[in-house]
Amino acid sequence: MGLVLGIVSLVLLLMQVLLIARAVLDWSVVLAGPSAHGSVRSRATAGVFAVTEPILAPVRRVLPPLRLGGMAIDLAFIVVFLAIVILRAVI
């Protein structure tokens, strides 16, 4: 049973790292502008989005982004990240 919990904890840790990478890549677009097609940043963004979006999309349908004037706070990202932190603490 310990091995299974260790593997689950590792997968959750990898998902946390990918969510942090997604946040950094989202902010890189804001700070540095859009990436050129085929660049390393463009490919990294596509890969990270492909892995994280299937997890965030269902939560986003239930909990849409919170609009505050000209910006939006992605509550789905926060909920999923906190859920992973809590799951890892329980495991």
**How many CA atoms lie less than 13 Å away from 80 in the CB half-sphere?**
26
What percent of the chain lies above the pLDDT cut of 70?
100
pLDDT (tens digit, 9 = 90+) per residue, 6-48?
999 999 999 999 999 999 998 888 888 787 888 888 899 999 9
pLDDT (tens digit, 9 = 90+) per residue, 25-36?
988 888 887 878
Q: What dihedral angle (degrees, nearest 10) is formed by the CA atoms of 5, 82, 50, 12?
A: -10
